[in-house]
Amino acid sequence: MASPNPICADAFVESAAERPAETAPFGAAAGQFALAVGGLALGTGEFAAMGVLPGVARDVGVSIPAAGHTISAYALGVVVGAPVLAILFARTARRALLVGLMLLFALANLASALAPGYLSLNAARFLSGLPHGAYFGVAMLVAASLVPANRRAQAAGNVLLGLSIANVVGVPAATWLGQEFGWRATFIAVAGLGILTAALVRAFIPAVPAAAGASARRELGAFLRPQVWLTLGVAAIGFGGMFAVYSYISPTLTEVTGLDVGAVPLMLGVLGLGMIAGNIAGGYFADRALKAAILGALVWNGAVLALFVVTSSSVWLAAVNLFLIGACIAIGPALQTRLMDVAGEAQTLAAALNHSAFNLANALGAWLGGAAVAAGLGWTAPGWVGALLAVGGLAIALLSFWLEAREKRALRAA
């Protein structure tokens, strides 16, 4: 089992950095493109549910906040599926694992489209979330293996770029599809994206084997590392704010901003553009100053989420603010790289757990945002909820860095 000693973790990262990059059949760029299409599929499947939430609520006979539980169900599927699948398939060749995960995702989305009622839809959404974290975790490790070590964060960001593009193209298109043909058509389209991803990964990704000596026992070593837990805490708390706002963006834009429902996909596209910018900037800054990138992103999150309370009453100000909120995703590549550095040999589980944490943030943000709305605080209340969650994440990050610095000082003094 991996030692929790941070010196061992540093040694592992250095030895990993010295290994030559894997050679993709059609080059690293094509390989990262294939992996990013998976991000497009997963992002569309996760976030499009928010855009068709009113239709889901009407069809299954529940309130909009109750329909928001389908968002939480998906997120909880990620929380459960990421560690379980990473441990169970620790020895599986990574390309084969990625293909299998996307086929499972496609089947679960078809089940969502066929769900006859509220409970069955929640169950299908939970199943849809199971492959999410494991796919992103393994995909980012594979993407990092295709490039030099000093471009790890940018490679991780490129996989997440598919998630961002989902919010520019996939989510608005899926939201429009759901509005025109019913929300079930949205999930059928998402299933098609999952099948496409499986085919692209099979064609463009090399047959990357599992890590040498990989085992469930070694992966479980991640749970013995306090810095892994603290980094996951930053993601689960600090990133929850974006989801507090995003989960209820459709009714906020129609009820507060005064937009017609047909304009909601356009505003979601603006937010997606911000996510693209945030992903690119996040990877760039994380490769140069990792800790500063994490702290800066959390401060940014708190500020722009609080600002939405004020700007949501104006169409133009809301559009600008949504772009800035989209850029909150800049913290993703930074936290993924941080986990690579502190996880030692438990790379697969740690990478997957990062997406458990992000989707725990999704569940937490959707729940707290919905609770604020249900309490009668108004559709803008999730902005305040989001700002407070960002402050909580900032506190955890500062604690993590302080403990790491103290431990290094103690080791030098010994």
Q: What share of the chain is helix, strand, coil (3-state, %, to 5)?
A: 85, 0, 15
Evaluate whether residue 198 is within a structural domain: yes
The total of structural domains in the chain comes to 1
Report the pLDDT averaged over residues 357-374: 83
pLDDT of residue 150: 67
Evaluate whether residue 350 is within a structural domain: yes
Q: How far apart are CA 388 and CA 240, in angstroms?
A: 10
Q: How far apart are CA 354 and CA 74, in angstroms?
A: 16
Pairwise pLDDT comparison (21 vs 356), residue with the higher score: 356
Instruction: State the residue for tokens 């722009």.
Output: 304
Evaluate whether residue 284 is within a structural domain: yes
Report the pLDDT averaged over residues 293-310: 92
What would the two tokens of residue 161 be? 């770029």
pLDDT at 4 over 60: no
Which CATH number goes with the domain that contains 262? 1.20.1250.20
pLDDT at 15 over 50: no
**Lowest mean pLDDT segment, chosen from 66-75, 227-236, 383-392:** 66-75
Evaluate whether residue 71 is within a structural domain: yes
| Residues 113 and 191: beta-carbon distance below 8 Å | yes
| Nearest by Cα to 40 from 130, 171, 231 | 171
pLDDT at 391 over 70: yes
Evaluate whether residue 17 is within a structural domain: yes
Domain range for residue 285?
6-413
What would the two tokens of residue 402 be? 């302080």
pLDDT of residue 123: 92
Evaluate whether residue 1 is within a structural domain: no
Evaluate whether residue 240 is within a structural domain: yes
Q: What per-residue string of b and e applies to 269-279 under the rule 16 or more CB within 10 Å gives b?
A: bbbbbbbbbbb
Contacts of 124 (CB under 8 A, 6+ apart): 108, 109, 111, 112, 114, 115
pLDDT at 370 over 60: yes
Evaluate whether residue 195 is within a structural domain: yes
Report the pLDDT averaged over residues 388-412: 90
Residues 279-292 pLDDT 10s: 888 888 888 888 99
Report the pLDDT averaged over residues 179-204: 90
Q: How many CA atoms lie within 13 A of 377 on its CB side?
A: 15
Q: How far apart are CA 318 and CA 312, in angstroms?
A: 5
DSSP symbol at 327: G
pLDDT of residue 214: 61
